[in-house]
Structure formats: structure tokens, C-alpha cells
Chains A and B, each alone.
Chain A
């Protein structure tokens, strides 16, 4: 659906790597170009019309995000360079000042590198322990396993809402309820979920949430850090500089601005933030329920066909998202991706930045198809036809 809105789809390609980044609709591109062509001034600076326009558009995008995730107030919405930046700010800016040696951080083996390495660093610098919640046979996180993994020393639970290789949707609301009963903070990596399902931070009651604009039809280099206001108040800015300070006279006299500006040092990615706002308006117009419904429909269509091909091993048969991970028996995943590329089909091969996943799947690398609402049954048919002929794959993969 809505294929005409995406300039990239006018090319002869079948794009099935939406988990890596999504395509951008024309309205997002236009909105960003308009900034560069019509009011390309800095934010929060000048007393002239076009600079005022920048402020209005930039803060309008913040209002759109606030409403989109149902934050209590716009002070809880900080613009960053992406989910990675947000997660590092949370780990280093907030938790580094809170954890003590021996504290435990719970994650899973299917987290993306960006939700592993900041915690590993905290473990190295502060003597905390990073423990892994065991996953079930489908590589899903169960409430039972979560409960068993919690100890009196558990301080943080950091999880993806939808994992990027297995594609399972975590029951975040229940996880948060259990965590809070045990005085544990919950950090959610929403990079894979935000553009694909409704995310309501107040309903979920998460403490922190991170996502990137580019996986939800927006531009690269822009993202969001959400935090409950009382927590963000205690998040030390990693970057100090222009825009975020109120006044300074000496090292002992530095006064910072209020939230959220306090956490946005330097000239921000103005076009990116405004583009993210346009992406949100576009998604709202379609409706997130409708997007999710369409993705599940496409996934079922794809799985029904793939499962009939004897030389295809599907790694994540059970998952409630548009992510399908598989291998062609006896063929290296990258070679299959290269073969599909010859037919202008874009899929991802490798470990998908989730390098610990291999420890639980026993499979070092896989092919991943990640669908979005603009994909079609016809595209899936073409893909499946190419995958069903193993001799053709092997003879054409070089």
C-alpha cells in the first residue's frame, strides 16, 4: 500500500531490508528540503523571521513525538543522533552515576550491539555484572524466565521491544510491572518497534525508551531519547556546549538550561528532526494499527510459501513482526544475498549486529527479510520463486 509515496520504489528494486533502514516518503524528503531552501537558519538563536520559523518547526516536531509516544510532557523528549546515541546517554549519563560494584544488569542474547555494548562498558568501569535472561526454544523471552533471573542486586533490565533478528515482540508492560515491584529500572530499545506498532510510554510505564528516525520513514542521523522527567533531571549531559547552557563564568559556575534543551548540546540535526516530524504525520495518517496488520498479513503470506521449500530453514517461525530469518541449506548466507541482488532484491545477510545471538541459535549467520507496509505479495512471489530453485542459487551465486 501507498507505494506511490516512495521515490525509491520507482526504481526496479524489491526492498526487503526495512529492519536496517526504511525507505522515505516524498513528504519527508520535501519537508527537509524545504528547510534547507526556505528557512535554513539555526535553532534557538536569532531574532529574525526565518530563525523563528526554525524554532517553531523544530519544537512542533517535538510536540509530534510527545503525542506519538504519549509522553507526559515535551520535556521528556530529547532529540539525539539515533537509538545508539540515546542508549549510550542512558547508560553513561544516568546509570554510571547510580550503579555500584556487584549490581546486575539483565539483557538477552538477542539484543542489538547498541543495547549490549553500553552495558558491557558499565560493567567494565563500575564492576557491575551483565546477566542474560534465558530464552525459550523459540528464542522468546518468557515472564517466567525473567522472574527467575531477577536477584536482589538487579538494577536495570534493558530490552528491545522487538528484536532485530528473531522479531519477537516482548511483553514490555508486564515486564515493567514486575521490574518496578522489584525496584528495577527498565530501558527499552524501540528501534525495531516504533514504526511498526503503537508505543505508549505511559501505558507501558517504561523508565527510558530509545529509537531512531530512519527505521520509521524518517531521515538518518536523528533519534529520540525518552525518559521520565524525574529521571532525565538526573541524567548528566555527556556533551556540554552551545545551546544547552544558561550561563557560565568559571569551572565552578556553570548553569545549564532546563530539560530537554539541557541534553541537546550543539546545533542539532534540524532538518533531521523536522523530517522525523513529517514521518510521524505520515505514519499517523495511515495508522499504526493498519501498518501492523498489513505487516503480519505479509509475514504470514511469506512464511506459508517459504515453509514449503525443503532446502529453507526458517530460524524464527514464531514471531509477531515483519522479520523473517532463514538459511538456504548448505549455502553461505552472503552468497544467497548476492544471488538475490542480481535480481535487484535487497536482503540482509550476516549476524545483523546481534553478535551474541549465535550463542543461542547455534547459527553464526543468516538471511533476514524485514517487511514494511509498502511491500507486496507480488514482491514476495518473486523472491520465493528465486529461492525455490536451489540449483539456480548455487550456479548463479558467484
Chain B
């Protein structure tokens, strides 16, 4: 709830050196942009903007907080754990930290709201590997 009322890292990024991905849910109206500054394989800065429901916003806030200063591979591991948690596979709660609260959403329509920012981050990180 706190992450919805006072979302961290929610700001517009105009700096063109940041990598950007738009992520949205075609079945509803959530629409987020994720920004990342990656240097030496480390996420030096990460931010998001957009309009979305409380679950997506808080999820993006927690995700960006947890991904900052992580290496690309550690970040992908974090995202992979979230994917596993939401899809009933094995995951490591220690990696996800407070993001484990979204386990309650895995069997509801809000699973996609929670996953939304992660898809954007994943798209950016995978684009750096190519």
C-alpha cells in the first residue's frame, strides 16, 4: 500500500542514454514505461512512468527498488523468480524480498497487473544481451 501511495522511482526520464520499454496490458488499461541506465552490466538507475492500477504501480515501485544496482544476470534471476512465483513454480522468496506479497494475486485477474512492470524490465534486459 505504501508503495502505491508513495511509489519509488516514478518519474519521467528524458535522458536518451536510458533504455526504455513500454509495457501494457491489452485486456485492461494499465500502461507503463520502464527506463534503465545500464553501465558495465550493472543497473545504475531505473525508473517508471505511466498510468495503471494500484497493483501495477506498487509492483513497479517494489521492482525498481529491488533491481537498482543489480547486475543484468541478477536482475534476470529476480524477474525469473517472480515469473515462477506467479506461475506456481519453485521460487526463492529471499531473492524476491517484499515482492513475495504478490503471491496472493497469482490466481486472480490481477496476476497480469503484478507482472506488467516485470515484462518491461525483462524486455530491456534481454535486449542488452543481443
Q: How many Å lie between the Cα of A395 and that of B2 in the bound state?
A: 11
In the complex, given contacts A332-B53, A334-B28, A334-B113, what are 17 additional A-B residue pairs having Cβ atoms less than 8 angstroms apart? A332-B52, A334-B29, A334-B30, A334-B53, A335-B53, A335-B54, A338-B53, A350-B28, A350-B29, A364-B29, A364-B51, A365-B29, A365-B51, A395-B1, A397-B54, A398-B54, A398-B58
| Residue B68 at the chain A interface, CB threshold 8 Å | no
| Residue B55 at the chain A interface, CB threshold 8 Å | yes
* Top 10 A-B pairs, shortest CB-CB distance: A334-B53, A365-B29, A335-B54, A332-B53, A350-B29, A335-B53, A398-B54, A397-B54, A350-B28, A334-B28
What residues on B are CB-neighbors of A349 within 8 Å?
28-29
What residues on B are CB-neighbors of A338 within 8 Å?
53, 110
Q: How many Å lie between the Cα of A338 and that of B29 in the bound state?
A: 14
Q: Interface of B with A (CB < 8 Å)?
A: 1, 4, 28-30, 51-55, 58, 110, 113
21 contacts between A and B (CB under 8 A): A332-B53, A333-B29, A334-B28, A334-B29, A334-B53, A335-B53, A335-B54, A335-B55, A338-B53, A338-B110, A350-B28, A350-B29, A351-B29, A364-B51, A365-B29, A365-B51, A395-B1, A397-B54, A398-B4, A398-B54, A398-B55
Q: How many Å lie between the Cα of A207 and that of B37 in the bound state?
A: 58
Contact with B along A323-363 (1 / 0, CB 8 A): 00000000011110010000000000111000000000000
Q: How many Å lie between the Cα of A349 and that of B110 in the bound state?
A: 14
A-B contact count (CB 8 A): 31
Interface size on A, residues (CB 8 A): 13
Q: How many Å lie between the Cα of A351 and that of B24 in the bound state?
A: 14
What residues on B are CB-neighbors of A334 within 8 Å?
28-30, 53, 113
What residues on A are CB-neighbors of B29 within 8 Å?
333-334, 349-351, 364-365
Residue of A nearest to B101 (CB): A398
What residues on A are CB-neighbors of B53 within 8 Å?
332, 334-335, 338
Q: How many Å lie between the Cα of A351 and that of B29 in the bound state?
A: 7
What residues on A are CB-neighbors of B54 within 8 Å?
332, 335, 397-398
Q: How many Å lie between the Cα of A395 and that of B58 in the bound state?
A: 14
